[in-house]
Amino acid sequence: MNKEKELIDKLIDLAFAEDIGDGDHTTLSCIPATAMGKSKLLIKEAGVLAGIEVAKEIFNRFDPTMKVEVFINDGTEVKPGDVAMVVEGKVQSLLQTERLMLNVMQRMSGIATMTRKYAKVLEGTNTRVLDTRKTTPGMRILEKMAVKIGGGVNHRIGLFDMILLKDNHVDFAGGIDKAITRAKEYCKEKGKDLKIEIEVRSFDELQQVLDLGGVDRIMFDNFTPEMTKKAVEMVAGKYETESSGGITFDTLRDYAECGVDFISVGALTHSVKGLDMSFKAC
Identify the pLDDT of residue 1.
54
Q: Is 261 a catalytic residue?
A: no
Residues of each annotated binding site for substrate: 99, 132-134, 156, 166, 199, 221, 244-246, 265-267
Other beta carbons less than 10 A from residue 200's beta carbon: 22
Q: Is 221 a catalytic residue?
A: yes
CA 104 to chain centre: 13
Identify the active-site residue in 199, 205, 242, 261: 199
Q: Tell me how far apart the alpha carbons of residues 216 and 195 are, in angstroms, rounded to a whole number.
A: 6
Cβ contacts of residue 89 below 8 Å, gap of 6+?
36, 37, 59, 63, 65, 66, 67
Nearest in space to 153 (alpha carbons), one of 260, 263, 49, 238? 263
Q: Tell me how far apart the alpha carbons of residues 167 and 198 are, in angstroms, rounded to a whole number.
A: 9
Q: Give pTM, 2 decimals.
A: 0.95
Burial readout 211-241 (b: 16 or more C-beta within 10 A, e: otherwise): eeeebebbbbbebebebbbebbeebeeebbb
Identify the pLDDT of residue 194.
97
C-alpha count within 13 angstroms, C-beta hemisphere, residue 3: 6
Pairing of the two strands 128-130 and 262-264: parallel
Helix segments in the chain, DSSP class H: 3-20, 25-30, 52-62, 91-121, 140-150, 167-173, 176-190, 203-212, 225-235, 252-256, 267-270
Q: Tell me how far apart the alpha carbons of residues 27 and 94 are, in angstroms, rounded to a whole number.
A: 10
Identify the active-site residue in 63, 88, 221, 276: 221
Identify the pLDDT of residue 153.
97
Identify the active-site residue in 40, 61, 166, 184: 166
β partners of residue 198:
165, 218
Residues of each annotated binding site: 99, 132-134, 156, 166, 199, 221, 244-246, 265-267
Q: Is 199 a catalytic residue?
A: yes
Burial class of residue 146 in the structure, from the number of CB atoms within 10 Å of its CB (0-12 exposed, 13-18 middle, 19+ buried) = buried
* In contact, 257 and 125? CB cutoff 8 Å: yes
Calculate the dihedral angle through the C-alpha atoms of 51, 53, 58, 59, rounding to the nearest 10 degrees. 120
Identify the active-site residue in 56, 117, 134, 201: 134
Identify the active-site residue in 38, 44, 61, 99: 99
Tens digit of each residue's pLDDT, the chain (282 residues): 588 889 999 999 999 999 999 999 999 999 999 999 999 999 999 999 999 999 999 999 999 999 999 999 999 999 999 999 999 999 999 999 999 999 999 999 999 999 999 999 999 999 999 999 999 999 999 999 999 999 999 999 999 999 999 999 999 999 999 999 999 999 999 999 999 999 999 999 999 999 999 999 999 999 999 999 999 999 999 999 999 998 999 999 999 999 999 999 999 999 899 999 999 999
> What is the full DSSP assignment across 229-246?
HHHHHHHTTSSEEEEESS
Where do the domains of the chain lie, and which CATH numbers do they carry? 3-115+273-281 (3.90.1170.20), 119-270 (3.20.20.70)
Q: Is 134 a catalytic residue?
A: yes
pLDDT digits (tens, 9 = 90+) for 213-266: 999 999 999 999 999 999 999 999 999 999 999 899 999 999 999 999 999 999
Q: Tell me how far apart the alpha carbons of residues 19 and 14 are, in angstroms, rounded to a whole number.
A: 9
